[in-house]
Structures are given as structure tokens and as C-alpha cells.
Structure 1
Amino acid sequence: MTSLIDIHTHYVPRGWPDVSAEGGPEAPWLRIESEREAMIMMGTREFRRIQSDCWDAGVRLADMDADGVGIQVVSPTPGFFNYGRTGEQSARIARIFNDLALDIVAPAPDRLIPFCQVPLQDTDLACAELDRCLANGHRGVEIGNHVGDRDLDSEGVVTFLQHCADRGVPVFVHPWDMASSPRLDRWMAQWLTAMPAETHLSILSMVLGGVFDRIDERLKICFAHGGGSFAFWLGRMENAWHGRNDVIGTSQFPPSHYLGRFHVDSVVFDERALRLLVDTVGPDRVMVGSDYPYPLGERPVGEVVRKSDFLDDTTRARITHENAQAFLGI
């Protein structure tokens, strides 16, 4: 089998300059605990324990070889987006992390493809940072699925997405900043329920908010985690659009009309879920993703795709690498 292309992985640099002036009391920094382990800190709060696979290309490449992965897209960790800061503060932080990302992928530029982050709360600054990163070697951009209460159908975000379409830049949408409550703060419920719901809401906003009607069809956009709960609830969206079109969004067509306008990754962990995903969005719209190197990711990468009996060789090849080649322009 041709090597996999993994569309969904993350990095964290092994340290960065002090950004407390830009990030305030919750500014991110890295508490190094050993050569192989560190703790991401948000001010005085422990955010996530990580290991050297976040920053060490050698470790990353060894894991890729073990899993049969030929190419990884290496994207930011969403906790560093800083959309709650001013655009200028977020832009300065984005520049630091984007430049450090290039150092991480430098040992294997043919196998590690960097995606940048941008200050999405400020459209002009976001477009400027994207252009700077493209000139420096980044190949795409990862964005969060919302900016505060603004969803992906807000005018500023739509303008940025059109900017990406104009430049042929692939966009990876990742959920972040999930709501917190006593019900969601136990059992990792934010990750198990809120994260899939956030991704579903992102696709919903682009469909019912009329984004796909307004934006260039050249836009290449992929949603993480199998598109969240979207595939399972498409029928409910469709029924609502026909039954209550007076209150359901502004899209010109029912939700199913837009299925060819976006991609999703495959990290759904179960053959039954993958079958529904492929049947719903189409075999040319699913790409292998793993969420490497975090504990809720899939290892070995692409295992469900490899082992799913319902996939024939042609469809499996699309999902493992051909769709990603087209998405990334490889």
C-alpha cells in the first residue's frame, strides 16, 4: 500500500519567547520537566502534559515510519490561537509559533507539511499573516471553529476564507474553546460531546449561513474529527430545512446539496462510524487524520481505514492518500 497522508496532527515548540505582554495572565508557556516531557501552562494553570513527539522531528518521523505514514500535515495546537486577545496581540503570538513550526518541520520538508495559524479575529491581520507564512514555506492554515460568538458565517471569517480560496490554500478547521460547565467538566465530556458538537455547528453555520452559496467553489476546507456529529444528523438538518424553511438559515438549497463542498478527516475510531461518514459525505471527501500526538488520537494511524472491510481497494486508496494529494496540491 502507498504510504498514508495524515491530514490532522499537531505540534508544540520546545519553548518560545515570553508572550505575557501579548497573552496577559493566561499567556502560554512551557514548563520543561525532562528531555522528553513538558507541561503546557496557561499562566499558572496546567493545560496539557506533552512529550517530545510534539517538537522532535526525529521522534515524529520514527512514529510515522512505524505506522506507514509518508506525509503529515503539522498544524498548531488550538490552545494557542488567542482569539480572545486583540488582533495585534494575537498576530504577534501567531508569528512566533508559525516561525517555530518551520524549525520543527525543517529536518524533513518532503514529509512534514506545516500549516500556520492566524489572528482570525482581525481579518486584515489574518490575511497578512497567512500571506507572510505562505512566502516563508507554510502550505495551509488551521483555524478554530469560532471566534467568540462569531461563527464561520461571520463576514470577517468569510472574507478570510475567500482569501484562502483565491490563493488555493487548504484550510483545516479544528474545534476549540469548548463551553465549560459542571456537566461538561467531568469524564472529559468537553472532548467527548462538546467537541463533536462544535464541529457539527461549524459545518451548520457554513451551510445554513449561506457561506457555500457566497464563497468561491475553489475553497478547500476540511473539518476535524470526521466532521463531528454532522454525518449522523444530516437527515435532521434536511428535515428541518424543508419543514421550517421560514426559520432555518439562509441557504439557497437544502443541506445535502453542499456535501461536495468540504472534506472531513477519518478519525472516528469505529468502522460503523466510518461507513456512515463515507456514505454521507462521499469517498472523495474523507482523508486520513489521526490527531497525533495526543492521547485521544488514533494509533496506529489509519488503522480503521486499513481494516474496514466495506472499503474496496479503490476507495481505500482515495482515503489513505489520493484525496489528500488533491487537497494539498501535492
Structure 2
Amino acid sequence: MSGLIDVHAHWLPAELFTLPAGAAFGAMHDRDGELYLDDIPLSIATSAMSDVAAIRKDMDTKGIDLRVLSAPPFAFPLGDSGQDVAYAEAFNAALTRVVDDADGALAGLGLVALGDPAVVTAQLEALASTPLISGVAIPPLVGRTSLDTGVLRHVLAEATRLDLAVLVHPMQLPRAEWQSYYLANLIGNPVETATAVAGLLLGGVKAELPGLRICFVHGGGCAPWLLGRWTHAWKARPDVRRASQTPPETGFGELFFDTVTHDARQLGLLQEVAGANRIACGSDYPFDMAEPDPGRFALEHGPGHDALVRAAEEFLGRTPERERR
């Protein structure tokens, strides 16, 4: 059975491989058909990142009817320089052209320059007026702040006001203790995501923004396994519950997650703590850490075809009720 929606896939046009000024890594470039990030091999063909035909072929092979494209995480514009603003606008314009030409097979999540709140608002308003652009992709951290404070908190408030979806994707931030064994990805990415989920729930942000449609990739990182610990601390410590009126387990079931867990048991736990109606199919295309057969994995181990599609449609705001509005 097809009809699946992949809410987590990446695309970047070759002209933007330079990356924005504040990027944590050097530019992307091609070496004999393979894509590198600075001197780091990404273990994927260069065409897989930017070639729409390659993306469509992969969709056909994997049983994906609609794929939602967002920028790779190292392309997040983390400042408000003129270059950051121009980079986000160039990506959004290119993404709009791609989804417009895809006959309904592709949708998009745009970028905003994560600095000046006024610029954020203007760029989100532009995304909200663009057909087939369903929302925005953001990192879980900007500097020392997460979703409960600063510019990311502003993004969530404005996305809620504009009825835009928000996809949160970790950036694989380098740390000295994670230099070996790809640990910046294997440990760093899940920890970044869990930090953002905790900030959203313990900071009371989701309760303040009940209309926020937000999805955390990689099955929510460490968050499903930490939820019990957070809830215990919320009950035991006044400083943990000072900003939230309800325990984190209450708000957890109002978030969306993708299926990229790489393990059926972990996806099962995610369904238990989040609910079967909050999980959408994801692929993480085209990276080496992508789910090799995302449709099969999601259908065999997830909540079922109809639930996966409903969750994706609800997250993206593609339900008949919202489209009538």
C-alpha cells in the first residue's frame, strides 16, 4: 500500500552549497561525484542532495507518494547578517520553484534567518503566503538558547499565529568528547533534540501555544526514554516545574515525531509514550543515517498506514478543515 507522506527529507540546490556565513562547518562540495562537507565525506552521491529526478526516483522505489523537503541542518542561517537573510530567501525561492514543478509529489519547509525577530516574522509571513510551503525547519539550539527562549521561541509563536508547521532538526554540533566514531551524530543529534523537547515542555511553551504543530525528527532523539525522568523531576523539584503547569508527559502526546528510530523496539516505545496518532513516516533522505527503506519500516513497525498518513497531514496542515480555512 502506498500513499505515504515522508515528512523528513533533505534538499539543497548546488548554488547554495556554499552555506550561510554562520554555519558550523565549511562549504559543501563535490569530489568525483561524492558530496563532502568541508573535508568530511557525507557518504552520498552529490546528485542525491540537489537532483530532483534522483529524489523522485527514490520516492518511487521506496513507496513514498509525497515527500516534504527541507534544507540539511548545516544550512540553517544562524544569524541576521545580510548574507544570512539573503541565503534564507534564496533557498525559499528555489524550494518554491521545485515544489511548484513537482505535480503535487513534493512539498517544502522553508528557512528563516535566526537573528532579528522582525526579519523572522517577515520571512515566516512570506512562507505562509506560498502554496505548497507547509512551514519552516529550525535547529533545536541557537547559541545557548533552545525553544523556550530567544529567537527560536519567537519562531514558534509566529509559526503558530501563521498556522505554519515547524520541523526541528539537530545540527550535529561538534564537541571535543565526540570527535571519534561519529559520536557527534550518534550521541549529539539525539541529545540536541531531547534538549529542545525538554525546553518546549518544561518551559511551558507548548501549553502557551496550543495550536503549535511541531515535529521532532529521529523519533524525538533521547526524549522518549527520558520522559519518565522529566516527569519525576517535575513532581519532585519546584525549579523544574516553575514554568509549566502540567507534567511533561501531558504535553508529550501533543507533539509529532517521525519514524527514523532504526529499531522497531524504539519505535514501539515512542508509540506508547507519544500515541499512535502523533507519528509520521520519515526517511532522512539522502544521508547515510537515513532509514534504508522508510516506507516498509514505518508500515511494519509503526501505527499503521492510515495513522501514519493522518499524522503527517495533521502536522502539515493538509487536513480538509484547514485547507478550507
Q: Does the 8 Å contact 2:277/2:307 carry over to 1?
A: yes
Name the structure 2 match of 1:273: 266
Q: 2:29 aligned to 28, 31, 40, which one?
A: 31
Tell me by how many angstroms 1:30 deviates.
4.3
The DSSP-based 3-state class of the residue aligned with 2:285 is: coil
Q: Does the 8 Å contact 1:57/1:107 carry over to 2?
A: no
Cα root mean square deviation, aligned = 2.3
Q: Does the 8 Å contact 1:74/1:114 carry over to 2?
A: yes
The DSSP-based 3-state class of the residue aligned with 1:289 is: coil
CA–CA distance in structure 2, aligned partners of residues 136 and 210 of structure 1: 30
CA–CA distance in structure 2, aligned partners of residues 209 and 116 of structure 1: 25
Q: 1:196 aligned to 190, 196, 205, which one?
A: 190
Distance 1:190 1:95, change over 3 A: same
Q: Deviations over 1:3-51 (max 9, x none)?
A: 21101000121224977xx7279786443445x544344xxx5574542
Q: 1:80 aligned to 71, 75, 79, which one?
A: 75
TM-score, normalised to structure 1, is 0.88
Name the structure 1 match of 2:53: 58
Distance 1:259 1:46, change over 3 A: closer
CA–CA distance in structure 2, aligned partners of residues 254 and 96 of structure 1: 41
Q: 2:291 aligned to 294, 298, 304, which one?
A: 298
Q: Which runs of 5+ in 2 are unaligned?
A: 319-325
The sequence identity of aligned pairs, in percent, is 29
The DSSP-based 3-state class of the residue aligned with 1:5 is: strand
CA–CA distance in structure 1, aligned partners of residues 245 and 256 of structure 2: 21
Name the structure 1 match of 2:228: 235
CA–CA distance in structure 1, aligned partners of residues 172 and 118 of structure 2: 23
Equivalent residues in 2 for 1:177-326, closer than 5 Å: 177-181=172-176, 183-215=177-209, 217-308=210-301, 315-326=303-314
Tell me by how many angstroms 1:307 deviates.
2.2
CA–CA distance in structure 2, aligned partners of residues 123 and 80 of structure 1: 19
Distance 1:247 1:64, change over 3 A: closer
The code of the aligned residue for 2:8 comes to H
Tell me by how many angstroms 1:110 deviates.
0.2
Tell me by how many angstroms 1:140 deviates.
1.2
Alignment partner of 1:69 is 2:64:
yes
Equivalent residues in 2 for 1:139-154, closer than 5 Å: 139-154=134-149
Q: Does the 8 Å contact 1:91/1:126 carry over to 2?
A: no
The number of residue pairs the alignment matches comes to 316
The DSSP-based 3-state class of the residue aligned with 1:139 is: strand
Distance 1:80 1:97, change over 3 A: same
The DSSP-based 3-state class of the residue aligned with 1:273 is: helix
Tell me by how many angstroms 1:305 deviates.
2.2
Tell me by how many angstroms 1:161 deviates.
1.1
The DSSP-based 3-state class of the residue aligned with 2:59 is: helix
Distance 1:33 1:100, change over 3 A: farther
CA–CA distance in structure 2, aligned partners of residues 297 and 62 of structure 1: 16
Tell me by how many angstroms 1:95 deviates.
1.2
